[in-house]
Amino acid sequence: MIVTVNNDSDVRGVRDGLVRLGLWVERFDGSAGTQFVVGPHSAAVDPDDIRAIAGVSAVATKKSPHPKLDAMPRTVQAGGVRIGADAAPVVMAGPCSVESEDHVRRLAEGLAARGVRFLRGGAYKPRTSPYSFQGHGETALRWLRKAADEHGMGLITECMGEEERDLVAAHADLIQIGSRNMHNYSLLKSVASTGRPVFLKRGLAATLQEWLLAAEYCLAHGSPAVVLCERGVRSFDTSTRFLLDLAAVAQLSHVHRLPVVVDPSHATGRRDLVIPLCRAALAAGAHGVMVETHADPAAALSDGPQAVRPEVLFGLLEEMGLPGPHQRRSAS
């Protein structure tokens, strides 16, 4: 925002009023008098509260670049589960890659019995090396859907490319766009055009603004709703895999009032930090957590070191007050 001051005698008063509202300001002077530009890490404030400061002659604002996102309901429904401000926190759990029908089935059974409402699992995997395991594809999708259905769970899985889009859309309740594809605008449009809700992971160096604009792409191209997922950003410290940005989560939840979920498994890569950071995420305002879970992490075909055994989640689920086994989800 740009705040224009009536005249010289008001400059100090206006500055004080802006600070009192929690705004960082830079002062500019010219032939038209003094103006303040509100800086980027200011508290969110209603422009009318600024106009009410004595000595302010005009406030100029920027048009929101994401009008559809601003108008989206605060709580999203997918796979029979509600995610957002008006719903209880959700847990999404399952393996990084799906390895066998049997494994995913038993895992789903155990998780559902403890209140996990969303099954996650990778059928198509984005791998840094072309020589790494790339996922079981369509077969894995069927295993996942079946396991989710048997236990009344919603299903979330990633779509990496346009060629698998229709298959993923036919099986998943929430289609995940992975971190490495957040800026892949062709994919955003393509996935959105299926009319499914999107689970949009933050790009590994995306600003909050870029992330919101990627969500706007989804809404502008046919998706009814977006759930945002914070999974850590690139940083210089190597003791965690990425740097989990819970202040972004607090902003999304408390300022933008959008549904947001946190994935501490990918953020840290460290099994020993997953549970405390799930707690921290929920305390910061997250509406859910996504946790990489595997019955035997050593057998995982990808990212085994960061997966936890299902039992490790149980304490957290109890703290969250999640009930026991759920009914099958109603037909969507």
Residues 157-176 that bind a second copy (CB under 8 A): 160-163
List 6, 85, 250, 314, residue binding a second copy (CB under 8 A): 250
Region from 93-101, 137-145, 167-175, 283-291 binding a second copy, contact rule CB under 8 A: 283-291
Is residue 34 near a second copy by the rule CB under 8 A?
yes
Closest-CA residue to 81 (of 313, 331, 329) = 329
CA distance 212 to 70: 10
**CA triplet 56, 61, 65: central angle to 5 degrees?**
165
* Rg of the chain (C-alpha set): 22
- Minimum distance of a second copy from residue 150's CB (angstroms): 28
Q: Which is nearer to a second copy, 108 or 248 (CB)?
A: 248
In whole angstroms, what is the distance from residue 232 CA to residue 239 CA?
Answer: 13
Per CB under 8 A, 29 contacts a second copy:
yes
Of the pair 56, 108, the CB lying nearest a second copy is at: 56
Residue (46 or 330) nearer to a second copy, CB: 46
106: contact with a second copy by CB under 8 A: no
CA 142 – CA 154 distance, rounded (Å): 14
Residue 48 burial by Cβ neighbours in a 10 Å radius (0-12, 13-18, 19+): exposed
Total binding residues toward a second copy, as defined by CB under 8 A: 108
Say if strands 118-120 and 154-158 run parallel, antiparallel, or are unpaired.
Answer: parallel
Q: Could you tell me which stretch among 84-92, 149-157, 223-231, 242-250 binds a second copy (CB under 8 A)? A: 242-250
Q: How far apart are CA 45 and CA 9, in angstroms?
A: 24
* Residue 310 in the binding site for a second copy (CB under 8 A): no
Contact (CB, 8 A) for 284 and 269: no
Half-sphere exposure of 225 (CA within 13 A, CB side): 18
Using CB under 8 A as the binding rule, whether residue 37 contacts a second copy is answered as yes
The residue among 170 and 299 lying less far from a second copy, judged by its C-beta, is 299
**Least Cβ distance, residue 79 to a second copy (angstroms):** 25
Query: Which one of 38-46, 76-84, 85-93, 94-102 is the stretch in contact with a second copy (CB under 8 A)?
Result: 38-46
Is there binding between residue 198 and a second copy (CB under 8 A)? no
Binder of a second copy out of 112, 119, 174, 273 (CB under 8 A): 273
Minimum distance from residue 68 beta carbon to a second copy (Å): 9
Residues between 50 and 89 with contacts to a second copy, criterion CB under 8 A: 57-63, 65
Instruction: Report the C-alpha gap between 101 and 150 in whole angstroms.
Output: 13
- Our CB check for a second copy shows the closer of 33 and 149 to be 33
Nearer to a second copy, 9 or 31 (CB): 31
Residue 35 within binding range of a second copy, rule CB under 8 A: yes
CA–CA separation, 256 vs 240, rounded Å?
28
289 in helix, strand or coil? Answer: strand
Per CB under 8 A, the segment of 90-98, 111-119, 128-136, 166-174 that binds a second copy is 128-136
Neighbours of 210 (CB within 10 A): 14
Strands 75-78 and 33-38: unpaired
Q: Tell me the C-alpha to C-alpha distance, in Å, between residue 97 and each of 222, 270, 306.
A: 28, 17, 13
**Residue closer to a second copy (CB basis): 41 or 331:** 41
Which segment (15-23, 144-152, 223-231, 321-329) binds a second copy by CB under 8 A? 15-23
> In the numeric block, which tokens belong to residue 122?
């990778």
Contact 311, 328 (CB under 8 A): no
